[in-house]
Amino acid sequence: MKNYVRDKRMAFGMTQDELSEKLDVSRQTIISLEKGKYNPSINLAFKLSRLFTCTIEDLFIYEEEEKDV
């Protein structure tokens, strides 16, 4: 799962701290998200897409996830 959170955030001229406050999550969450440490919950994905006025599909690229079987 790839995402454009960092790009969008910078396009909006926001710091990680500002973004985390607007979304009501911790700064750690933003850092980890941008670094691709894990995927956002669908709630966070919705919050981000609303803030950035785009769709979830625009912000997150689902790549036919490699199964770990």
Partner DNA sequence: ACAAAATGTAAAGCTAGCTTGACAATGAAG
Partner DNA sequence: CTTCATTGTCAAGCTAGCTTTACATTTTGT
Length of the chain: 69
If contact means CB under 5 to 8 A according to the sort of partner, which of its own copies, DNA, none does residue 22 touch?
none
DSSP state of 39: P
| Nearer to its own copies among residue 13 and residue 33 (C-beta) | 33
- Pick from 5, 33, 45, 52 the residue near its own copies by CB under 8 A: 45
Distance CA 8, CA 20 (A): 13
41 forms part of the interface with its own copies (CB under 8 A): yes
User: CB–CB of 30/16 below 8 Å?
Assistant: yes
Note the residues at the interface with DNA (CB under 7 A): 15-17, 24-29, 31-35, 38-44
